[in-house]
Structure 1
Amino acid sequence: MDAQLQKTTQNLTTAADMRVTTQMLMQPSANWEGYLTPAPLSIAIMGELVFISSTTDFSINKNPPKKGFKYIKYPDSFRASLMQICNSGWHAFNLAHKNMDQIRIHTFTVPDYMKAVVKILFQGNDEIVETLLPNQLENIRSISDECVKLAESVEKKYEYVIKIIQELLEACINANHVYGEELENVRMKLEENKLKEQTSKELNERSKKAMEAMSKELEETQEQYKKAMDSIPSGWETIGMDLVEGMTSVLKVFSSGAAFCKGLIKNPFGSEINLLDKGEDVDMIAEMKICS
């Protein structure tokens, strides 16, 4: 009965039908170029990150999480965080390369096991099938389990990289908010300093104009002072002026005495009579000496 069933199955299912069926089953997972395309793009992005990390550095540890960062090792340095992502990505790609090579080696033996299974199934002997088929299927199962473990280890590695990137993005957005407030304060201070600078410049210009006016007034005052000093007579001139003034006084005295003597000469007796009338003692000899 089993032999007839196998024969009937073989007649119904040809090799071409099996290839078509396998192609239909593997079609959803056959877009390998779509899975491999992001790899070069990721490597290029990692190179850009390395370039950026070599030029700019700042802290992303502004308002950190309450429990701290889980994946970022160096929150005080954005450059170090980028290098951490690059190194983690390199380890993930390296592990994926090794595991893919191991998967390739493991899956390379699967076609042989499948051929052996087909041969066993077409033997037509139930005892042979029961004896040999489980071992072949176990080999295929162990290979598939090992490939799954290798793929999961690669997935975990890439997941770790993704979590680092996500945490770094959150930290950068949070730090950008804090830095934005600080930047706004700095901008306001810059505007304030600019206004102060403009006011100071205006005051300096006013002070300069005032200094120029004061300098001009000082020069005029000095010129007036110089003219006044030039108009003051010197020491010899002062002595000459005093001498002239003394001579003038002496001349006045002599002119007064001469006038008096002249009066006596004209009317000597009249003056005597007048003096006697006044009851005063007149020394005639003294008057004569004065007139002399």
Structure 2
Amino acid sequence: MAAEEEPSHTMMKSELSYAEESKVREEAELLMGPEADWEKFLLLAPITVALLGQLVCITVEKGDFSIHGNAPSSGYKYFREPESFKVCLKEVCDRVWDAFQLGMDNAALISLQLKNVPKKMANLMQGFLQDANLRKDQLVAQIEGMQEKVDECKTLAKEVRAKFSEQGDALQELYQACLNAREDYKKELETMQKELEGARIQMEPAKCEQNRAELTHAQLEDQEQAAFEEFVKAVKYKPSILDALGAKGETQLMEKHTAKLEKNQEMLVGAQQDKESNYQRIKHLNEEMAELQCAVNRCELGERDLEGYVSSLEEGLEALRNLHQQCVKMVQFFQMISNLLDFSLNWHIRECLDSANDLQQVTQAFSTVSVAQLVQLISQTYATIVERYLMELLSQMGRLLGKDCSSFHTEKAQLDRGCEDAQEALTRLVGELKGNFQRDLSTRLETIEKVKLKLNP
């Protein structure tokens, strides 16, 4: 999940050759044209909150899982207690809140620092129009003061850029840990599935053996019953008088009866022993089947848990990847502000001080105003939208992490609506401010024409 390369925006690195009055219109068009899509960075801010909500949703709906033993090769640097995904996610939410809070505060300071630049430059140019001989000293003093403010603003922008960059590194670390965890859980799942398959394979012959033993048991019960009946019949047998005629005949009859009785008894005992032996066999087979069934149940439960962990990690990795991209965009956003301050505004200020040509000097002064107002507009928009909408939404994340499924979805729906409202409000606000900026640019261009006529009557 490498950081994306920063896009090439004309407004992020203004052409350093704009010095003539004829170039001011072109610069204004570049700043406000379709390619100067600076607002797309701001429009990503509510998406960041929505992605955090998606990550929270994973832990609430699918449960938490351990990533403690899945640290990146360099170990954990940004997470104090990396016991589980949910614990780390809480730290991520706190870090994002801190980054947006710092961004809001510093953007408000940048906006405040640059707020009076257009008015000061307008007053300066008005004085120049009235008395061109007074312009140099006034211009130098005013513009040097502005350059100090620009440097302060640049420091503020770099501070926020570093904060979001650190957050991006933390997300990268968590992403790698989750990637490692997913691979480990996949291996565990593969092992569990093999164990489950083995248990199921063993159950098939064991079940057949169990069925045969139960069938044998039924047959032995019939044999035992038959032997018992024969034994009872032999016990109850009484010789008739005719059979008992003569002592010798009686003795032979009794001997035969005794032998038959003993034989029936042996058959009954044999049947009972066979039945008991088969019963013990059935008992052993039942225990074996119970163990196999327990193994199957345990493996099926483990399989479901591991599949759930892998599924959660797949969703989490996707959300973390997207969240990291948004973080990179925030880094680029404040880098854009820093570049505008450094490459455009600072350059125009220096050119304005160094220029010996009257019209060129006035042109650079108005270019300075244009860039300063653009940076002030961008910063003000960011600070306003974050303060009005995003900080409250971000503060809900900790509460959402503590919810159970029964109450989570109601608050998650409120969070989603809040993100949508922020997106709509941001779009409206950007449209209004860009419109105001365009009108101010037109007014300044008209003023340049007046200066041109004054200097070249």
- TM-score normalised by L of structure 1: 0.68
1:184 is displaced (CA, Å) by 0.5
Contact 1:58–1:78 under 8 Å retained in 2: yes
Is residue 160 of structure 2 the alignment partner of residue 154 of structure 1?
Answer: yes
- The separation in 2 between residues aligned to 1:63 and 1:87, in whole angstroms, is 22
Give structure 2 stretches of 5+ with no counterpart.
Answer: 1-19, 251-457
**DSSP 3-state at the match of 1:68:** coil
RMSD: 2.9
**Pairwise mapping of residues 59-78 of structure 1 onto structure 2 (< 5 A)?**
59-78=66-85
Partner residue, 1:20: 25
The one-letter code sitting in structure 2 at the alignment partner of 1:34 is K
Is residue 207 of structure 2 the alignment partner of residue 201 of structure 1?
Answer: yes
1:195 is displaced (CA, Å) by 1.6
Q: 1:104 aligns with which of 111, 115, 120?
A: 111
- The separation in 2 between residues aligned to 1:228 and 1:103, in whole angstroms, is 115
Aligned length: 226
Q: 2:50 aligns with which of 25, 44, 52?
A: 44
- The separation in 1 between residues aligned to 2:190 and 2:138, in whole angstroms, is 78
Q: 1:57 aligns with which of 64, 80, 84?
A: 64
The one-letter code sitting in structure 2 at the alignment partner of 1:160 is E
Task: Tell me: CA distance 1:163–1:222, structure 2 relative to 1, closer, same or farther (3 Å).
Answer: same
1:183 is displaced (CA, Å) by 0.9
Is residue 97 of structure 2 the alignment partner of residue 90 of structure 1?
Answer: yes
The one-letter code sitting in structure 2 at the alignment partner of 1:26 is L
- Which deviations, in whole Å up to 9, do the C-alpha atoms of 1:230-259 show, x marking residues without a partner? 2145xxx89x959x749x9xxxxxxxxxxx
- The separation in 2 between residues aligned to 1:140 and 1:25, in whole angstroms, is 23
Task: Tell me: CA distance 1:87–1:245, structure 2 relative to 1, closer, same or farther (3 Å).
Answer: same
Which has the larger displacement, 109-118 or 150-159?
Answer: 109-118
Contact 1:64–1:171 under 8 Å retained in 2: yes
Which has the bigger relative contact order, CA under 8 A and spacing at least 6? 2
- Which deviations, in whole Å up to 9, do the C-alpha atoms of 1:151-176 show, x marking residues without a partner? 11221221122111111111111121
**DSSP 3-state at the match of 1:54:** helix
Is residue 129 of structure 2 the alignment partner of residue 124 of structure 1?
Answer: no
The one-letter code sitting in structure 2 at the alignment partner of 1:204 is Q
Partner residue, 1:139: 145
The one-letter code sitting in structure 2 at the alignment partner of 1:61 is H
Q: Percent identity?
A: 29
- Which deviations, in whole Å up to 9, do the C-alpha atoms of 1:10-52 show, x marking residues without a partner? xx95xxx686244135247842321211111111111111222
The one-letter code sitting in structure 2 at the alignment partner of 1:124 is A
Contact 1:53–1:80 under 8 Å retained in 2: no
- The separation in 1 between residues aligned to 2:87 and 2:238, in whole angstroms, is 86
- Which deviations, in whole Å up to 9, do the C-alpha atoms of 1:182-209 show, x marking residues without a partner? 1100110011111222232222111111
Partner residue, 1:9: none
**Pairwise mapping of residues 250-289 of structure 1 onto structure 2 (< 5 A)?**
none
- The separation in 2 between residues aligned to 1:231 and 1:156, in whole angstroms, is 108
Contact 1:106–1:143 under 8 Å retained in 2: yes
- TM-score normalised by L of structure 2: 0.45
Contact 1:49–1:86 under 8 Å retained in 2: no
- Which deviations, in whole Å up to 9, do the C-alpha atoms of 1:61-117 show, x marking residues without a partner? 335345411223333201111222122112212222222222221111111232244
- The separation in 2 between residues aligned to 1:131 and 1:161, in whole angstroms, is 46
The one-letter code sitting in structure 1 at the alignment partner of 2:115 is F
Contact 2:70–2:178 under 8 Å retained in 1: no
Q: 2:175 aligns with which of 130, 153, 169?
A: 169
Give structure 1 stretches of 5+ with no counterpart.
Answer: 1-11, 249-292
Q: Which has the larger radius of gyration?
A: 1
- Which deviations, in whole Å up to 9, do the C-alpha atoms of 1:131-160 show, x marking residues without a partner? 433331122112212221221122122112
1:130 is displaced (CA, Å) by 5.3
Partner residue, 1:226: 232
- The separation in 2 between residues aligned to 1:195 and 1:145, in whole angstroms, is 74
1:119 is displaced (CA, Å) by 4.5
- The separation in 2 between residues aligned to 1:34 and 1:147, in whole angstroms, is 22
Contact 2:30–2:36 under 8 Å retained in 1: no
